[in-house]
């Protein structure tokens, strides 16, 4: 009896989609890691260094204490009845937990909430957005989700009717977008970021790509912008953002603003401006431009990836469309409550005068300062090597160096049936234990090669990573020199 | 260019087709009334903690400690946490490098999946492979992933029980497949009717549908029936003959309120059957921390287990799971704790066992109270809730009620439920949200309101119902 669920008869969209961040190189790394455990000494390195994924706490970054205090109290509210907690928890974490629990019907953190998330938490988030932007935000526009990614999938589901519906996506991009578009059967319409101008976005290029797609019969529905960029790390200049918003309005595009790295900025000459703020600064209201803004608890200085907390703020959509968005959200009932609470905490952290403020600020500043240093050390180290150039990481958590691979290396890769950057990344892994993601996983100008490396390994490990990398790279280039 | 960004007309048609009555019209109306100050009793969704059920203590202690590991370093931690909770928190933190804040393996923490496998082995007597167990943010996400993998186009059909939990119909609409209904037999306590099922499959095939999978919900939702071993054998044989993958939604396996048909997993029966069938029938089994006596809906903890799925298919499923990066870690720990609860001899065992038993015994009593209460009402017939969390009484509406409903532009059961809501504050879900035979109406309510509130709720219902029936009685029949 033929198996009914076999690769031959799976949904072809599932077969088509790819996600390199946890793809082939990483699977291989996991095998090597097991090998290190079962046969110590069998490899030229003694640990695998995962630089493939923006997962800070897996590499030793500590969670923000105040947030965890509040979450623990909300997980086990019985604690609030015990006097002993005064010596274990800060007073403001206790009062914040009480306030949050009071906003949850029955204080039941184990109950499904409203499908958009607990109202009181959405109020807090809306207030945080308002305070950040200087323009009002509405709790009814907020949908709390299990991380930002489900919100991206929801919009792709809504927007993509068939293979002729296109979504403009930056190249290089975070491959959730390409995977989601493939899964939902749409067309990815690429617009290339300019590596020579620090991964700048030229509206004229985007317009060209849009018109090109339309001439091929693609109905372009939306524009994805990732700011700060992933994998590219650039922070958009404000003028650039104005151009983008006007472009979307003129072309009738939905603007999907992935802003999950909004609190990862490492340079003084750039600031994060939310697209919501930009839209409102231009005087555009609800009738003018549909905008979805994504935020997550996974990044920033909080780095709480495992909690799966995030939200999307939807503005500029008609009531019937909003109903559909709500309806789809309701099929999953709600996102996890602990993640919802955390989303409200990051948008309303301790303020000056609060008991926990000093320690909170020290933790936050410490993490950002360390990320800034690590971004710089790694960037400098890559730039010092022949055959590698690396743009600055103005924000986010990654570096995306370009490799000038010798022709012989490219041929060797071809013979091994691998993309040249994947070939390089595999050799890097096997020589050093360092795991990066080949640039082909993110998209790049054809004929150029890159890899994405996170800036997340602990600071003490960075010198060893740099020196091991240097040894490998120089040997590789020597092996394949023309 | 004056193009509008996104109009209703421009949306994906599949999205527009989706319906999910559990949080649909009745719930929205109930929420409106609640805002206006009316007291509402929400019985629209299986959400025990929202109706006063307390969380079990031990899991909350463990997760709180995992959430704030600095507590473990404090010399006073033993004053407010029992030693076994402390030990268990350390056990999970050791399994999760980076703690609760790191993405885990996309399939879930290996150590937790091992606990799930061990639970399955103890429950069924057959070994289970942790590599084929994937933790998900609630069972629903796993159902969605599997249906998305199976459904290629509108000619792929999925056999779904009627009545069903409308996640299935919603997912099939969303992914553009075809729902092939098989009717449960209300007269036989919502029993399986394989003759009817075969007819459905034949009809679907004659319409060009390739029937790919069969969904069973055991214990049933909304119907509560528990499948017998013989039923499961029939179903498995049927799937084998018809080349269907079996999707076994077993999320209510802890909620069983009669002793004739205890829960038996589809997997156990499959392996008991032995022979080629046990190696060839493809099976996906779903479970969750949301139901049972745990009721931890808000944690979003679930898993699916794959049996006889080819390795390449497993790779594709892994790939899709990896795009979501990982299920939420606290939810995974709740699952580990449910699979590996306190044992006799553990410090927390007595309290855990007492709390659990108290909840289960109360659910059993409430299942009976509700069934009896509905059966005492005029024109209402209600099968006993053998399992799960719901009651699904049949409401025999007089012709005049149906006519009035239709002229108000409403389905008769929706009309009845709205009137019930407005009169009593009881917020139910009309049977049309789950599927029912043409012209036969039901509503779904939960057995979850607090036991002490039950008599008042049932009497409020009876008062409304009997007066409704009186009002719409077809006097021409007299």
Q: How do the pLDDT tens digits run along chain B, 478 residues long? A: 345 667 888 899 999 999 998 888 999 999 999 999 999 999 999 999 999 999 999 999 999 999 999 999 999 899 999 999 999 999 999 999 899 999 999 999 999 999 999 999 999 999 999 999 999 999 999 999 999 999 999 999 999 999 999 999 999 999 999 999 999 999 999 999 999 999 999 999 999 999 999 999 999 999 999 999 999 999 999 999 999 999 999 999 999 999 999 999 999 999 999 999 999 999 999 999 999 999 999 999 999 999 999 999 999 999 999 998 999 999 999 999 999 999 999 999 999 999 999 999 999 999 999 999 999 999 999 999 999 999 999 999 999 999 999 999 999 999 999 999 999 999 999 999 999 999 999 999 999 999 999 999 999 999 999 999 999 987 665 5
Tell whether B277 is within 8 A of chain A (Cβ). Answer: no
User: Which of B56, B93, B101 would you mutate first to test chain A, the one with the most A CBs within 10 A?
Assistant: B101
Q: Which pLDDT does position B2 carry in this prediction? A: 42
Average the pLDDT over A124-143 and give the result: 98
- In chain A, which residues have their Cβ closer than 8 Å to the Cβ of B71? 72, 88
Which pLDDT score is estimated for B476? 60
Residue among B67, B175, B244 whose CB faces A71 most closely: B67
Give pLDDT, residue B1. Answer: 38
Look at residue B23 in the predicted model and tell me its pLDDT.
Answer: 87
Contact in structure between A227 and A257 (CB atoms under 8 Å):
yes
Which residues of A are less than 8 Å from B106 in CB distance? Answer: 22
From residue B285, alpha-carbon distances to A447, B167, B248, B251, B270 in Å are 46, 16, 5, 9, 12
* Residue among A76, A81, A284, A458 with most chain B CBs within 10 A, to mutate: A76
Instruction: Mutation target for B interface from A75, A85, A179, A250: give the one with most B CBs within 10 A.
Output: A75
**Which distant-in-sequence residues (6+ apart) come within 8 Å of B357 by Cβ?**
none
Residues of B with Cβ-Cβ distance to A71 under 8 angstroms? 67-68
Q: Does residue A318 contact residue B8 with C-beta atoms inside 8 Å?
A: yes
Residues of chain A with C-beta less than 8 angstroms from the C-beta of B319: 14, 17-19, 23
Indicate if the pLDDT at residue A1 is higher than 90.
no
Interface test with B, best of A333, A343, A356, A458 (most B CBs within 10 A): A333
Give me the torsion for CA of B74, B79, B81, B82, rounded to 10°: 120
| Three-class SS state of A199 | coil
Question: Which chain B positions have a beta carbon within 8 Å of A336's beta carbon?
Answer: 137, 298-300, 328, 330-331
Q: ipTM score of the complex?
A: 0.96
Give the C-alpha separation, A47 to A458, whole Å.
14
Q: Indicate the range of A15-29, A129-143, B294-308 predicted with least confidence.
A: A15-29
Contact B151 A11 (CB under 8 A): yes
pLDDT, average across residues A399-409: 97
Which residue of B48, B61, B327 is in closest CB contact with A76? B61
Residue A282 pLDDT: 97
Digit-coded pLDDT (tens) for A314-330: 999 999 999 999 999 99
Residue A230 to residue A176: CA distance in whole angstroms: 11
Q: Choose among B4, B67, B212: nearest Cβ to A72.
A: B67
**Tell me, what DSSP letter sits at residue B108?**
-
- Determine which helix (DSSP H) or strand (DSSP E) holds B248, and give its type and residue range: strand B245-249
Q: Is B312 on the interface with A (CB under 8 A)?
A: yes
Average pLDDT, chain A: 96
Measured distance CA(A320)–CA(A326) in Å, rounded: 10
Nearest CA in chain B to A307: B328
User: Which tens digits make up the pLDDT trace of B246-281?
Assistant: 999 999 999 999 999 999 999 999 999 999 999 999
Mean pLDDT value across residues A385-410 = 97
d(CA A17, CA B150): 15
What integer pLDDT is reported at residue A19 of this predicted model? 87
| Interface probe, candidates A322, A331, A341, A343, chain B, greatest B C-beta count within 10 A | A331
Report, as an integer, the average pLDDT of A50-78: 97
State the pLDDT at residue B371: 97
Q: Which residue of B has its CA nearest to A253?
A: B5
The average pLDDT across A236-261 equals 97
Nearest CA in chain B to A304: B101
Alpha carbons within 13 angstroms on the beta-carbon side of residue B240 total 17
Give the distance from residue B273's alpha carbon to the nearest chain A alpha carbon, in angstroms: 17
- pLDDT > 90: what percent of chain A? 95
pLDDT at A453: 97
Confidence of residue A7 (pLDDT cuts 50, 70, 90): confident
Could A5 and B171 be called an inter-chain contact, meaning their C-beta atoms sit closer than 8 Å? Answer: no
HEC states along A33-45? HHHHHHCCCCCCC
Chain A residue with CA closest to B74: the answer is A88
Measured between alpha carbons, how far is B264 from B266 in angstroms, rounded to an integer? 7
Q: Compare CB distances from A4 to B282, B298, B299 and report the shortest one's residue.
A: B282
Q: Does B264 touch chain A (CB under 8 A)?
A: no
In chain B, whose CA is at the least distance from the CA of A117?
B298
Q: How many CB atoms lie within 10 A of CB A368?
A: 16
Q: List all residues of chain B from 387 to 426 with a beta carbon under 8 Å from chain A.
A: none
- Comparing alpha-carbon positions, the chain A residue that sits nearest to B27 is A114
A41, pLDDT greater than 70: yes
Contact B475, B391 (CB under 8 A): no
Q: Do A305 and B102 touch (CB under 8 A)?
A: yes
Q: B288: which chain A residues are within 8 Å (Cβ-Cβ)?
A: none
Contact B175 A55 (CB under 8 A): no
Min Cα separation B16/chain A (Å): 7
Bridge pairing between strands A165-171 and A388-389: unpaired
Going by pLDDT thresholds of 50, 70 and 90, the confidence category of residue A23 is confident
Residue A262 is predicted with a pLDDT of 98
Partner-chain contact A88 B71, CB within 8 Å: yes
> Distance between CA atoms of A261 and A130, rounded to whole angstroms?
18
CB B33 within 8 A of CB B40: yes
User: Mean pLDDT, to the nearest integer, of A98-120?
Assistant: 96
Question: Is the Cβ of B88 closer than 8 Å to some Cβ of chain A?
Answer: no
pTM of the model: 0.96
pLDDT attached to residue B10: 87
């Amino acid at each position: 009896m033929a198996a009914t669920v076999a690769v031959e008869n799976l949904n072809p969209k599932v077969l088509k989609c790819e996600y390199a961040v946890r793809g082939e190189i990483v699977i291989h790394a996991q095998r090597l890691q097991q090998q290190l455990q079962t046969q110590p000494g069998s490899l030229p390195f003694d640990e695998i260094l995962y630089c493939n994924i923006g997962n800070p706490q897996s590499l030793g970054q500590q969670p923000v204490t105040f947030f965890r205090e509040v979450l623990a109290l909300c997980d086990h509210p019985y604690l609030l009845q015990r006097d002993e907690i005064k010596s274990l928890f800060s007073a403001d974490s206790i009062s914040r937990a009480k306030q949050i629990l009071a906003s949850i019907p029955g204080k039941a953190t184990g109950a499904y909430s409203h499908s958009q998330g607990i109202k009181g938490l959405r109020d807090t988030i809306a207030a945080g957005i308002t305070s950040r932007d200087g323009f009002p935000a509405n709790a009814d526009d907020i949908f709390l989700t299990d991380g930002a990614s489900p919100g991206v999938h929801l919009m792709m589901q809504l927007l993509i009717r068939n293979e002729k519906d296109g979504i403009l996506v930056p190249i290089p991009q975070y491959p959730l977008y390409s995977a989601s578009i493939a899964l939902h059967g749409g067309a990815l319409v690429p617009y290339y970021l300019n590596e020579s101008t620090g991964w700048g976005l030229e509206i004229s290029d985007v317009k060209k790509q849009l018109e090109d797609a339309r001439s091929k019969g693609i109905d372009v529905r939306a524009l994805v912008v990732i700011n700060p960029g992933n994998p590219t790390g650039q922070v958009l200049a404000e003028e650039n953002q104005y151009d983008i918003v006007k472009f979307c309005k003129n072309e009738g595009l939905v603007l999907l603003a992935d802003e999950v790295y909004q609190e990862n900025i490492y340079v003084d000459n750039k600031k994060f401006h939310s697209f919501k703020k930009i839209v409102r600064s231009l005087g555009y209201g609800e009738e003018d431009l549909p905008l979805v803004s994504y935020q997550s608890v996974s990044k920033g200085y909080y780095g709480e990836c495992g909690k799966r907390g995030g939200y999307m703020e939807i503005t500029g959509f008609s009531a019937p469309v909003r109903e559909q968005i709500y309806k789809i959200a309701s099929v999953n009932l709600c996102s996890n409550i602990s993640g919802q609470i955390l989303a409200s905490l990051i948008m309303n952290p301790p303020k000056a005068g609060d008991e926990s403020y000093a320690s909170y600020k020290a933790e936050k500043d410490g993490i950002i300062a360390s990320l800034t240093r690590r971004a710089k050390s790694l960037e400098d180290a890559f730039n010092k090597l022949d055959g590698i150039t690396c743009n600055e990481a103005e924000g986010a958590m990654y570096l995306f160096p370009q490799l000038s691979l010798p022709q012989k290396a490219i041929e060797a890769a071809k013979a091994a049936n691998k993309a040249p950057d994947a070939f390089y990344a595999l050799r890097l892994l096997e020589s050093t234990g360092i795991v990066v993601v080949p640039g082909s996983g993110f998209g790049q100008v054809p004929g150029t090669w890159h890899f994405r490396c996170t800036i997340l390994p602990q600071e003490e490990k960075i010198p060893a990573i740099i020196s091991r990398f240097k040894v490998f790279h120089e040997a590789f280039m020597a092996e394949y020199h023309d | 260019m004056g193009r509008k960004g996104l109009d209703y007309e421009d949306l994906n048609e599949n999205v527009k087709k989706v319906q999910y009555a559990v949080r649909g019209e009745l719930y929205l109306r109930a929420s409106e009334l609640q805002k206006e100050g009316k007291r509402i009793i929400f019985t629209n969704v299986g959400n025990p903690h929202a109706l006063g059920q307390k969380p079990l203590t031990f899991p909350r202690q463990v997760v709180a400690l995992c959430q704030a590991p600095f507590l473990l370093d404090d010399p006073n931690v033993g004053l407010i946490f029992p030693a076994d909770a402390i030990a268990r928190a350390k056990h999970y933190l050791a399994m999760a490098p980076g703690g609760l804040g790191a993405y885990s393996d996309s399939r879930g923490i290996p150590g937790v999946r091992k606990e799930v496998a061990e639970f399955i082995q103890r429950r069924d007597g057959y070994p289970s492979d942790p590599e084929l167990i994937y933790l998900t943010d609630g069972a629903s996400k796993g159902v969605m992933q599997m249906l998305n993998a199976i459904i290629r186009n509108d000619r792929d059909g999925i056999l779904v029980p009627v009545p069903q939990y409308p996640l299935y119909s919603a997912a099939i609409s969303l992914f553009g497949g075809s729902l092939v209904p098989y009717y449960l037999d209300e007269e036989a306590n919502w029993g399986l009717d394989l003759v009817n099922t075969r007819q459905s499959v034949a009809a679907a095939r004659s319409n060009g549908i390739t029937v790919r999978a069969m969904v069973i919900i055991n214990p049933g939702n909304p119907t509560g029936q528990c499948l017998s071993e013989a039923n499961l054998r029939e179903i498995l044989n049927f799937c084998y003959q018809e080349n269907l993958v079996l999707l076994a939604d077993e999320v209510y396996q802890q909620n069983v309120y009669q002793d004739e048909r205890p829960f038996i997993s589809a997997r156990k029966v499959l392996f008991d059957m032995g022979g080629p069938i046990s190696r060839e029938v493809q099976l996906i089994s779903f479970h969750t921390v949301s139901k049972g006596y745990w009721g931890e809906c808000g944690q979003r903890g679930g898993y699916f287990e794959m049996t006889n799925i080819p390795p390449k298919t497993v790779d594709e499923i892994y790939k899709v799971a990896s795009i979501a990066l990982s299920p939420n870690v606290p939810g995974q720990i709740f699952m580990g704790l449910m699979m590996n609860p306190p044992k006799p001899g553990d410090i927390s065992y007595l309290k855990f066992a007492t709390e659990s038993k108290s909840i289960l015994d109360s659910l059993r009593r409430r299942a009976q109270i509700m069934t009896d209460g509905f059966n005492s009402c005029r024109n209402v017939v209600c099968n006993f809730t053998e399992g799960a969390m719901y009651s699904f009484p049949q409401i025999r509406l007089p012709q005049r009620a149906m006519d009035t409903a239709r002229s108000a532009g409403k389905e008769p059961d929706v009309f009845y439920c709205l009137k019930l809501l407005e009169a009593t504050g009881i917020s139910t879900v009309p049977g049309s949200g789950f599927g029912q035979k043409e012209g036969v109406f039901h509503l779904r309510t939960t057995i979850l309101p607090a036991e002490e509130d039950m008599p008042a709720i049932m009497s409020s219902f009876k008062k409304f119902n009997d007066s409704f029936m009186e009002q719409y009685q077809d006097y021409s029949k007299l």
